Amino acid sequence: MAETSSSSFPTDFPTIDPTTFDLIVLGTGLPESLLAAAAAASGKSVLHLDANTFYGSHFSSLPLPSLPSFFNAPPLPPDPSPPPSAPSPSSSYAAIDLHSHRLYSEIEITGSSPEPSKDFLLDLAGPRVLYCADEAVDLMLRSGASHHIEFKSVEASLIYWEGRLCSVPDSRQAIFRDRTLGLAEKREMMKFLKLVQQHIGSGDGEGAAAAAAEAAVGISAEDLEIPFAEFLKKQRLPPKIKSIILYAIALANYDQDNAESCKKLITTKEGIESLALYNSSVGRFPNAVSAFIYPMYGHGELPQAFCRCAAVKGALYESGQYKGVRLASHQDIFSHHLVMEPSFQVPSSVAHSNIVCEGLNASNLTGYVARGVCITSGPIQQGSSNILVVFPPKSLHSEQLTTVRALQLSSNVAVCPSGLFVVYLSTPCDDVILGKEYVCAAMNALFIVQNSDISKGGISTNDEGTGETRPTLLWSSVHVQERTQASFSAVFSCPMPDENLDYRKILESTKQLFTNMYPQEEFFPRHSASENAEDESGLSE
């Protein structure tokens, strides 16, 4: 059992009753909130605790004045009270301290905050969007979370190619209208998309019939297992079309043409699945003009929506300065399972073998994400409101091995005052300095940057001759975030925001945690789908 000292906290806490729960969840990030809501929907008793005064933890959306203090906040200090106590003969638990681990570093903030600064709501995990047809949207419909949230459409996607921004066509009509594509490029892209659509259609069959259909349309079982980039090469697609498919539609994070250094090669099967998701997302909702949607008031609304679902189903919420399940009031709360947000750690000095498991303090560092948050004087592209910009590997620098993404948002999603724009950027990295340099290079390509450190960015960019008018960068924050995930027998640690644009991997990890805790239960039972089917039209403008 985790313990926290009352020496620096108020003493007038309410008593929590009951004192035993099926599940205790520490933190209100999206994975924690999903787990709390799913457990409550399955009839489990849930106590949801958060030391913060806001929902969302590392998935929150914060007012601009709060952002610097969040990034620079020191870890919660260890409890100055006596060392952890060993379990007594009559009990099966011991009291230990949970320490918090700082997950943000290399923080650089430049510029003056535009006024009114409190009118900005800034995502901690941006850039991030949802596919109209992905499972996260289906979960909101099944769980009832869609009652508590509204979405707007991302209008378009652009790709940075040879120093210019080019549209990403998402339909036959868009391909023919695109003036940046040559006739041969349009023909090859249409031919490839037709092949993909035929393959998707053939996948509705079973067994030998499906295999025969796949072979008939030219995507064999062998082709499905090779790298997607290799398959595209076999289709003789031009480099620009290949990059659009790999990085702007399939959303690859790493250079797919560099197999030796690529951390995640996408197979043809995975690429086709991403294209199928993209294709089914276009046109799902009548007022969503592209494959992607964004939540009004920022992504911090998603954890709140699932917290409300959990509360409706019977979860108990209590906010305060907690480090574990021995509260600041010194009340002990018991549960079968404990879920923690990833910044919590158990000190290495704890060596009681019967406390959860060995290695409880070990946090699994899987890499880093360099992120940028920008406020600009105008849109990246004239007349645009909410758009996605993709910088493929090597588009900013010959040594660039990762994709950089930028998401521009306007006042129509209620995250900034009218006339100003918020832009999020990110790229995965192992070398944090290079990661920040790539983010700064993308900022320099998109904006008029007056700060010398950002304009240098360690990498030079050149937009001369493009004829494009760039907005001025008014304020920016560039930082590096750790990606961590750890899970244990009775104690589970949730994932940090990852390097992806969407929530598929986070949702996959969260579902696995739920299955480990409750193998006999369904993650948000599907019988509730019909009850919320009418909400689907509410996921539109």
Domain limits, the chain: 2-102+297-366+485-526, 171-281
pLDDT of residue 250: 95
Q: Hunting for tokens 């900022």 — which residue is that?
A: 443
CA distance 407 to 387: 6
Mean of pLDDT values over 237-250: 93
Q: In 3-state terms, what secondary structure has residue 186?
A: helix
Regarding the domain with residue range 2-102+297-366+485-526, which homologous superfamily does it belong to in the CATH classification?
Answer: FAD/NAD(P)-binding domain (3.50.50.60)
| CA–CA gap between residue 172 and residue 103 (Å, rounded) | 44
Q: What is the pLDDT of residue 29?
A: 94
Q: Supply the DSSP string of 320-349, one letter for each residue.
A: SS-SSSB-TT--B-EEEEEEE-TTEE--TT
Cβ neighbours of residue 222 closer than 8 Å, sequence gap 6 or more: none
pLDDT-based confidence at residue 38 (cuts at 50, 70, 90): very high
Rounded to an integer, what distance in angstroms lies between the CA atom of residue 49 and that of residue 319?
6
Asked whether residue 378 carries a pLDDT value surpassing 60, the answer given is yes
Measured CA to CA, the distance from residue 411 to residue 384 in angstroms comes to: 11
Mean per-residue pLDDT for 453-459?
55
- Rounded CA-CA distance 393/400 in Å is 5
- 347 preceded by cis ω (within 30°)? no
pLDDT exceeds cutoff 60 at 211: no
Q: At what angle do helices 301-313 and 135-143 cross, to 10 degrees?
A: 40
CATH of domain 171-281: 1.10.405.10
Q: What is the pLDDT of residue 334?
A: 77
- Closest C-alpha among 119, 151, 56, 163 to residue 422: 119
104-111 vs 46-50, strand pairing mode: unpaired
473-532 pLDDT, tens digit per residue, is 999 999 999 987 656 556 788 889 999 999 999 999 999 999 999 999 999 887 644 444
Nearest to 166 by CA among 182, 150, 151, 187: 182
> What's the mean per-residue pLDDT of the chain?
81
Tokens of 255: 């250079």
Residue 379 has pLDDT above 90, yes or no: yes
- Across 154-241, the runs of DSSP E, i.e. the strands, are 156-161, 164-167
The model's confidence at residue 261, banded by pLDDT at 50, 70 and 90, is confident
Q: What percent of the chain has pLDDT over 70?
A: 75
What is the rounded CA–CA span in Å between residue 121 and residue 98? 30
Please give the residue that has the higher pLDDT: either 160 or 465: 160
> What are the pLDDT digits (tens) for 167-203?
998 777 778 888 778 888 888 888 888 888 888 876 6
Residue of 427, 392, 385, 428 lying closest to 408 (CA atoms): 385
**Six-digit token pair at 185?**
């490029």
What are the residues facing 2 on neighbouring strands? 96
What's the pLDDT score for residue 314? 53
Least confident of 64-78, 103-117, 276-290, 474-488: 64-78
